[in-house]
Amino acid sequence: MFEILNHFKKKYQPLTKDGLRFDGLSLIDVKRKKHVIMISKPFVFDNRKLPKSYDGLAIKAKIEGGLPEEFNVDARKEYIWAPQRFEKFVDRCSDEIRKKFKQPDMSRTDMLDALAFGNFADHKKKCKELLSEGKIPPLSLN
């Protein structure tokens, strides 16, 4: 397993210049002996550059640093990763996002994909399903 982690680190080392940090392996399910690769990254990070899993190990990321104002909510009452929050943030900060990614012609769709876990349309669809199942609270944008 450490060999997989070392290969992952070597392959994605260039992303450290964008704020990626390798936190190591973590055991998340003792009974099933399920391990994951833990990483940290800033909120404004191009998630399309990272896989969801690597050589059979899921990738779990945590946000390092602060969140934009659109995401500063009480997570017990509101779903922090609601698609509308990403849209509001991108609409408010598109110039800064383009600058951070060094892509002056980056489209709104590309920014949403980059920030919302790699695929905004999939994220939005999943959120609608979770909302209809009552697994996440309704959105309240104040």
23-81 pLDDT per residue, tens = 999 988 778 888 999 999 999 999 999 999 999 999 999 999 999 999 998 888 889 99
Q: What is the pLDDT of residues 90-135, one digit of tens each?
A: 999 999 999 999 999 999 999 999 999 999 999 999 999 999 998 9
- Cα 88 to chain centroid, rounded: 16
Both tokens assigned to 22: 């390798």
Q: What is the pTM of this model?
A: 0.88
Both tokens assigned to 135: 């697994």
pLDDT at residue 141 greater than cutoff 70: no
Q: Tell me the three-class secondary structure of 11-78, residue by residue.
A: HHHHHHHHCCEEEEEEEEECCCCEEEEEEEECCCCCHHHCCCEECCEEEEEEECCCCCHHHCCCCCCC
Percent of the chain past pLDDT 90, that is, above it, reads 81
Both tokens assigned to 21: 């940090």
Q: What is the pLDDT of residue 137?
A: 86
